[in-house]
């Protein structure tokens, strides 16, 4: 029996996991990071367009601060997020950007003086201040009031991941790659590590630690068409669910990005539209201003994706052998801009489609269609990052439902959350690991290894007629067809029923190679049932949520229903033999919100069932502000919705022109 | 319409190196897989099709499948390349032979271990920012000239795919040679105004045959780099700098 002990165990080597590892090393803790792939291959590297943080360096960011970023994030979430977490996030994000600059992220910097930009399809001239020269630049993104998304061309995730990974190596974080966590070791009350499978030789290893963190990213690969990397299967989320104790939050909240390229589903960044690119239909017509007069192509992702499908349904899609699509036109930005700031986009379009998007006119238009992109749902945690129900289990980044994004994440808030949660949750996790003593015996550990070993043998002994690849394909098609951008009761019922059948069928397969070592088919055989459990949480959550909110859109319940549905979906899988999760809800309390529910400013205006408390709270806040004219924005905020942050992350952020105001 | 929508449909044959060094019964051999080529087919699509419908035991590494993560470097008809960005239509004969990337520990079939080398290389060249002055991250960041930041970004685009090492003759003779990936990394940090190290300090890290003086200037690295990094220039630049130190 191989047991490896550490103080802090982190599963997942992307931005969230590695930044958390730096936090635990900072406290002198022995830290191990497990990763399925070399950590610099993690999906964080694929983030293109940028990271949101209210620095307000650029003239287009003037007046930006934590309050504006907070409001954008809450509206983006369609009031589904935890506002206290959103506050923690926006206060820390500027510090995260600056820390990353110190660790070597070569952020694009501002040149003082005039430059030409494209806004609303027109050339405009903006003038950057002398005092902003050399400071971190930002571009426009969807659903934001200010230009707030900091970037390194369109390879932002790559430079961030490398900086954080290099810093983690400098601090001697121990990295074990090609290890897949397949079970969490726990005693119903407390998590004390994981059973991991060595993907090189199949060996099972017990990693035992004072605290365990899951930072394994999203579950996009349960969909047929996803921008996500091959590894984003949600296995880390699934093993938390399989404890029967930890819960998942808002699993039905799945984001569809407006502009992956057809047919390869590779992402073309929102920066394309942020920098001035537009969407066109089969007639070459720019249609978004008709639907969204104010934000146009830069409404939130859920809204733009729905409008695009709506426009295709109206007969305006471009026919192709891969189905209908629309066009993304960035040629209007000019070759110079594209080859500097959107070079990966150009490279992707050239390599995979033979299109140079810098070519003028229709020749350069890229075929795009909304596809799965991000998982707002994940392991339900407290603001500290610890599971609400299983002590010692922490989660950060996309794997978690912290819950920063509610029912729709803003572009640029994902890598931002990954790093910021790595700082905040990482710090709480480190404190937990420091203060906790490992109190277990090797019997429990042996039991968990034995159980997984038996399970793998059981899989190899299956002697049925089904094929695990067919089951996986069907799951992905069902999710695509029935649990996609537009959802309804009948389709969701069909989805849940068939997914349950598929879950049962995973035990009726026959794995050809019987070796326990490096056996790719065996990997599929234990991963697919886990993916199906995640898919069932998404489908059942979507079926039960009879309203439309953010990315969750019900054709049969088209309104956002604050009266009945201002709550978070909680799924749990108590009985391992069950074929569906149990669902409960966590109420969101309007009386405690700093920003009570209202119209987002984009999307359909007439589609909210209001809660009377929204108006009450709104009036209460206005009255409080009027009664306390002497308070500055920080004092007001503190009174309306207090929040806490570890270390000195709550310190005010300095900005040019306004200093610490 | 688009180049990608043109008709395809010819039969092509992928010849794949098969071996599992962890399995005593495994004998290294080549195996042929005939498949029907589809328009726009990449090696990612072809290998995935072989794996899901013909042979569930064949191993290879893809993560992003978009040329961003560097996982899928392999030898394609004799040249090291990223498989996800390689179109099968490039090979007019329709015969494609795939071998695992040399110089790295072989895992199985087309899968190799790059993580161990890249992490060790990072430690060998101390490939991170070194700066011991205290920093308050709530204050305005240190300004950097925009052109300089762009120049650093250019070198920071390396994805550690390992192709430069697979193309390198020095690496065959000196297992601990840090390669273009390592030398480019040092060049990148030597430019960075956040890094306080002097040329003398960089010399301590790469001023030997495992570093800058190991390179024989054959430049296979530059020829094959999928990110088109200016490796020749960076290696020459670092060598110049390092020669001046002693």
In degrees rounded to 5, what are phi and psi of residue A491? -60, -40
Q: Confirm if A521 and A202 have CB atoms less than 8 A apart.
A: no
Q: How far is A233 from chain B (nearest CA, A)?
A: 11
Q: Please determine, for residue A525, whether its predicted confidence score (pLDDT) is greater than 60.
A: yes
% of chain A at pLDDT higher than 70? 100
Q: Please determine, for residue A275, whether its predicted confidence score (pLDDT) is greater than 60.
A: yes
Task: Please report which residue ranges of A506-604 form alpha helices under DSSP H.
Answer: 520-544, 562-565
B68 CB neighbours in chain A (<8 A) are 45-46, 155, 158, 344
Q: Please determine, for residue A108, whether its predicted confidence score (pLDDT) is greater than 80.
A: yes
A95 in reach of chain B (CB within 8 A) = yes
B15, β-bridge pairs: B32, B97
The pLDDT of residue B2 is 36
For residue A658, what is the nearest residue in chain B, using CA coordinates? B140
- Pick from A233, A242, A238: nearest CA to A186: A242
Q: Please determine, for residue A434, whether its predicted confidence score (pLDDT) is greater than 70.
A: yes
B124 in reach of chain A (CB within 8 A) = no
Q: How far is A99 from chain B (nearest CA, A)?
A: 6
Best A49, A51, A61, A109 residue to mutate vs chain B (most B CBs within 10 Å)? A109
Residue A435: CB atoms within 10 A of its CB come to 9
% of chain A at pLDDT higher than 90? 98
CA dihedral B173, B178, B179, B183 (to 10 degrees): -150
pLDDT band at B4 (very low <50, low <70, confident <90, very high): very low
Q: How far is A458 from chain B (nearest CA, A)?
A: 19
Q: Please determine, for residue A123, whether its predicted confidence score (pLDDT) is greater than 70.
A: yes
Residue that has been written with the tokens 């932002």 in this structure: A156
Q: How far is A186 from chain B (nearest CA, A)?
A: 30
Mean pLDDT, range A614-621, rounded to an integer: 97
Size of interface A-B (CB pairs under 8 A): 217
What would the two tokens of residue B159 be?
């994805």
% of chain B at pLDDT higher than 70? 97
Q: Please determine, for residue B173, whether its predicted confidence score (pLDDT) is greater than 50.
A: yes
- Pick from A403, A156, A109, A358: nearest CA to A267: A156
Give CA separation, A18 vs A174, A219, B55, B148, B194, in Å.
10, 19, 36, 27, 21
A200 in reach of chain B (CB within 8 A) = yes
- Residue A523: alpha-carbon gap to chain centroid: 25
Partner-chain residue, chosen from A39, A162, A229, that has the shortest CB–CB distance to B64: A229
Q: How many CA atoms lie within 13 A of A54 on its CB side?
A: 25
Q: Please determine, for residue B1, whether its predicted confidence score (pLDDT) is greater than 70.
A: no
Partner-chain residue, chosen from B68, B122, B194, that has the shortest CB–CB distance to A166: B122
For residue B59, what is the nearest residue in chain A, using CA coordinates? A520
* Spatial distance between the Cα atoms of A431 and A427, rounded to a whole number of angstroms: 6
Partner-chain residue, chosen from A102, A513, A655, that has the shortest CB–CB distance to B135: A102
B157 in reach of chain A (CB within 8 A) = yes
Residues of A annotated as catalytic are 257, 273
* Beta carbons of A152 and B69 less than 8 Å apart: no
The pLDDT of residue B218 is 94
A320 in reach of chain B (CB within 8 A) = yes
- The reply to whether omega before A71 is within 30° of 0 (cis) is no
For residue B69, what is the nearest residue in chain A, using CA coordinates? A41
Mean pLDDT, range B193-206, rounded to an integer: 96
B54 in reach of chain A (CB within 8 A) = no
For residue A168, what is the nearest residue in chain B, using CA coordinates? B128
Q: How far is A624 from chain B (nearest CA, A)?
A: 29
Q: How far is B215 from chain A (nearest CA, A)?
A: 24
* Beta carbons of B129 and A167 less than 8 Å apart: yes
Mean pLDDT, range A79-87, rounded to an integer: 98
- Residue A181: alpha-carbon gap to chain centroid: 20
Q: How far is B136 from chain A (nearest CA, A)?
A: 9
Is residue A84 within a helix (H) or strand (E), and if so which, with residue range? helix A83-102
pLDDT band at B8 (very low <50, low <70, confident <90, very high): low
Exposed, middle or buried, A480 (CB in 10 Å: 0-12/13-18/19+)? middle
B134 in reach of chain A (CB within 8 A) = no
- Pick from A31, A58, A82: nearest CA to A136: A58
* Beta carbons of B63 and A158 less than 8 Å apart: no
The pLDDT of residue A439 is 86
Q: Please determine, for residue A312, whether its predicted confidence score (pLDDT) is greater than 80.
A: yes
The pLDDT of residue B9 is 81
Q: Please determine, for residue A62, whether its predicted confidence score (pLDDT) is greater than 70.
A: yes
Mean pLDDT, range A552-561, rounded to an integer: 97
B128 CB neighbours in chain A (<8 A) are 103-104, 166-167, 169-170
DSSP per-residue codes, A544-563: H--S-BTTB-BTTB-SEEHH
* Beta carbons of A469 and B53 less than 8 Å apart: yes
* Beta carbons of A520 and B123 less than 8 Å apart: no
Average pLDDT, chain A: 97
List of E strands, A46-203:
51-52, 113-119, 122-128, 149-150, 174-177, 179-186, 191-198
Mean pLDDT, range B178-204, rounded to an integer: 97
Mean pLDDT, range B40-55, rounded to an integer: 96
Which of A321 and B129 is assigned the larger pLDDT? B129
For residue B228, what is the nearest residue in chain A, using CA coordinates? A347
The pLDDT of residue B7 is 53
Q: Confirm if B127 and B182 have CB atoms less than 8 A apart.
A: yes
* Beta carbons of A101 and B62 less than 8 Å apart: no
Q: Confirm if A417 and A402 have CB atoms less than 8 A apart.
A: yes
Mean pLDDT, range A594-623, rounded to an integer: 94
The pLDDT of residue B111 is 98
A248 in reach of chain B (CB within 8 A) = no
Residue A320: CB atoms within 10 A of its CB come to 16
Q: How far is A95 from chain B (nearest CA, A)?
A: 5
Mean pLDDT, range A165-187, rounded to an integer: 98
Q: Please determine, for residue A211, whether its predicted confidence score (pLDDT) is greater than 60.
A: yes
3-state secondary structure of B62: coil
The pLDDT of residue A604 is 83
Q: How far is B50 from chain A (nearest CA, A)?
A: 12
Best B56, B67, B86, B148 residue to mutate vs chain A (most A CBs within 10 Å)? B56
B89 CB neighbours in chain A (<8 A) are none
Q: Confirm if A184 and A212 have CB atoms less than 8 A apart.
A: yes
The pLDDT of residue B246 is 77
For residue A320, what is the nearest residue in chain B, using CA coordinates? B5
Is residue A305 within a helix (H) or strand (E), and if so which, with residue range? helix A301-311
Q: Please determine, for residue B5, whether its predicted confidence score (pLDDT) is greater than 60.
A: no
Mean pLDDT, range B44-68, rounded to an integer: 96
Partner-chain residue, chosen from B128, B156, B160, that has the shortest CB–CB distance to A167: B128
**Dihedral over Cα of A94, A96, A98, A101: its sign:** negative
pLDDT band at B227 (very low <50, low <70, confident <90, very high): very high
Give CA separation, B123 vs A28, A168, A172, A332, B146, in Å.
19, 11, 9, 45, 29
Of A36-45, A595-604, B183-192, the least confident: A595-604
3-state secondary structure of A243: coil
B226 CB neighbours in chain A (<8 A) are none
- Pick from A476, A487, A588: nearest CA to A545: A487
Best B64, B118, B132, B162 residue to mutate vs chain A (most A CBs within 10 Å)? B64
Q: Residue B143 carries which DSSP code?
A: P
B228 in reach of chain A (CB within 8 A) = no
Tens-place pLDDT, residues B127-140:
999 998 889 999 99
A471 in reach of chain B (CB within 8 A) = no
Exposed, middle or buried, A196 (CB in 10 Å: 0-12/13-18/19+)? buried
Tens-place pLDDT, residues A479-494:
999 999 999 999 999 9
In degrees rounded to 5, what are phi and psi of residue A27? -90, 10
Interface of A with B in 165-184 (CB under 8 A): 166-167, 169-170, 175, 177-178
* Beta carbons of B129 and A166 less than 8 Å apart: yes
B126 CB neighbours in chain A (<8 A) are 170
Partner-chain residue, chosen from A38, A152, A320, that has the shortest CB–CB distance to B115: A38
Of A38-42, A516-520, B5-9, B188-192, the least confident: B5-9
* Spatial distance between the Cα atoms of A481 and A222, rounded to a whole number of angstroms: 12
B142 CB neighbours in chain A (<8 A) are 101-102
* Spatial distance between the Cα atoms of A587 and A633, rounded to a whole number of angstroms: 28
* Spatial distance between the Cα atoms of A338 and A154, rounded to a whole number of angstroms: 10
* Beta carbons of B57 and A512 less than 8 Å apart: yes
């Amino acid at each position: 029996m191989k047991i490896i002990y550490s103080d802090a165990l982190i599963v997942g080597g992307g931005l969230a996991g590695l930044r958390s590892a730096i936090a635990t090393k900072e406290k002198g803790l022995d830290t191990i990071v497990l990763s399925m792939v070399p950590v610099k291959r993690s999906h964080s590297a694929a983030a293109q367009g940028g990271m949101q943080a209210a620095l307000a360096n650029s003239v287009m960011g003037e007046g930006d601060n934590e309050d504006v970023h907070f409001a954008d994030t809450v509206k983006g979430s369609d009031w589904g997020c935890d506002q206290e977490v959103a506050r923690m996030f926006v206060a820390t994000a500027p510090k995260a950007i600056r820390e990353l600059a110190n660790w070597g992220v070569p952020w694009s910097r501002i040149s003082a003086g005039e430059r030409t930009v494209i806004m609303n399809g027109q050339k405009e001239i903006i003038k950057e201040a002398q005092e902003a020269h050399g400071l971190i630049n930002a571009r426009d993104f969807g659903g934001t009031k200010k230009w707030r998304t900091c970037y390194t061309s369109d390879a932002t995730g790559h430079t961030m991941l490398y900086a954080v990974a290099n810093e983690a190596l400098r601090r001697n974080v121990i990295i074990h790659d090609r290890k897949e966590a397949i079970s969490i070791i726990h005693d119903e009350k407390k998590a004390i590590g994981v059973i991991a499978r060595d993907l090189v030789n199949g060996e099972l290893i017990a990693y035992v630690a004072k605290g365990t963190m899951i930072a394994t990213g999203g579950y996009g690969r349960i969909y047929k068409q996803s921008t996500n990397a091959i590894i984003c299967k949600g296995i880390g989320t699934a093993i938390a669910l399989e404890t029967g104790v930890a819960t998942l939050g808002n699993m039905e909240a799945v984001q569809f990005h407006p502009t992956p390229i057809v047919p390869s589903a590779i992402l073309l960044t929102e920066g394309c539209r942020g920098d001035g690119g537009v969407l066109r239909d089969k007639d070459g017509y720019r249609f978004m201003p008709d639907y969204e007069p104010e934000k146009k192509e830069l409404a939130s992702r859920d809204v733009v994706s729905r409008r695009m499908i709506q426009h295709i349904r109206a007969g305006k899609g471009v026919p192709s052998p891969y189905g209908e699509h629309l066009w993304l036109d960035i040629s209007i930005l000019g070759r110079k801009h594209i080859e500097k700031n959107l070079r990966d986009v150009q490279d992707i379009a050239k390599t995979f489609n033979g299109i140079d998007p810098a070519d003028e006119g229709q020749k350069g238009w890229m075929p795009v269609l909304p596809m799965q992109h991000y998982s707002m749902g994940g392991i339900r945690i407290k603001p500290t990052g610890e599971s609400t129900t299983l002590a010692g289990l922490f989660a950060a980044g996309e794997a978690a439902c912290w819950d920063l994004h509610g029912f729709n994440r803003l572009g640029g808030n994902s890598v931002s959350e990954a790093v910021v949660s790595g700082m905040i949750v990482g710090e709480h996790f480190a404190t937990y690991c420091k203060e906790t003593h490992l109190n277990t015996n090797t019997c429990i550990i042996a039991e968990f290894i034995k159980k997984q070993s038996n399970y793998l043998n059981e899989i190899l002994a299956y002697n049925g007629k089904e094929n695990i690849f067919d089951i996986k394909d069907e799951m992905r098609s069902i999710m695509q067809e029935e649990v996609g951008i537009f959802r309804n009761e009948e389709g969701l019922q069909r989805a849940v029923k068939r997914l349950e059948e598929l879950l049962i069928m995973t035990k009726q397969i026959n794995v050809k190679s019987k070796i326990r070592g490096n056996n790719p088919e065996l990997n599929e055989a234990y991963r697919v049932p886990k993916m199906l459990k995640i898919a069932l949480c998404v489908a059942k959550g979507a079926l039960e949520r009879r309203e439309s909110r953010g990315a969750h859109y019900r054709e049969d319940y088209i309104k956002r229903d604050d009266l009945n549905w201002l709550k978070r979906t909680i799924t749990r899988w108590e009985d391992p033999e069950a074929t569906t999760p149990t669902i409960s809800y966590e109420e969101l309390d309007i009386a405690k919100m700093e920003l009570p529910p209202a119209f987002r400013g984009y999307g359909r205006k007439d589609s909210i069932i209001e809660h009377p408390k929204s108006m009450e709270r709104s009036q209460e806040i206005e009255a409080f502000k009027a009664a306390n004219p002497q308070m500055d924005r920080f004092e007001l905020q503190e009174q309306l919705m207090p929040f806490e942050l570890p270390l000195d992350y709550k310190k005010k952020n300095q900005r040019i022109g306004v200093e610490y105001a | 319409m688009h180049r990608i929508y043109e008709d395809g449909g010819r039969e092509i044959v992928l010849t794949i190196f098969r071996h599992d060094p962890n399995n005593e019964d495994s004998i290294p051999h080549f195996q042929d897989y005939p498949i029907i080529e589809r328009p726009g087919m990449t090696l990612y699509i072809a290998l995935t099709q072989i794996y899901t419908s013909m042979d569930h035991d064949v191993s290879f590494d893809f993560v992003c499948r978009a040329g961003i993560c560097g996982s899928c470097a392999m030898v394609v008809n004799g040249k090291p390349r990223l498989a996800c960005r390689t179109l099968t239509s490039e090979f007019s004969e329709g015969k494609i032979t795939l071998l695992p990337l040399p110089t790295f520990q072989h895992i199985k079939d087309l899968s190799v271990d790059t993580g161990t080398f890249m992490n060790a290389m990072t430690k060998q060249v101390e490939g991170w920012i070194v700066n011991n002055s205290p920093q308050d991250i709530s204050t305005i960041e240190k300004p950097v000239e925009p052109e300089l930041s762009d120049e650093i970004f250019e070198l920071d685009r390396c994805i550690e795919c390992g192709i430069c090492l697979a193309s390198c003759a020095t690496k065959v003779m000196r297992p601990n040679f840090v390669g273009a990936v390592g030398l480019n990394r040092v060049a990148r940090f030597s430019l960075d105004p956040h890094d306080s190290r002097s040329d003398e300090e960089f010399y301590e890290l790469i001023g030997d045959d495992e570093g800058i003086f190991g390179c024989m200037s054959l430049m296979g690295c530059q020829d094959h780099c999928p990110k088109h990094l200016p490796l020749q220039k960076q290696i020459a630049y670092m060598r110049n700098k390092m020669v001046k130190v002693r």
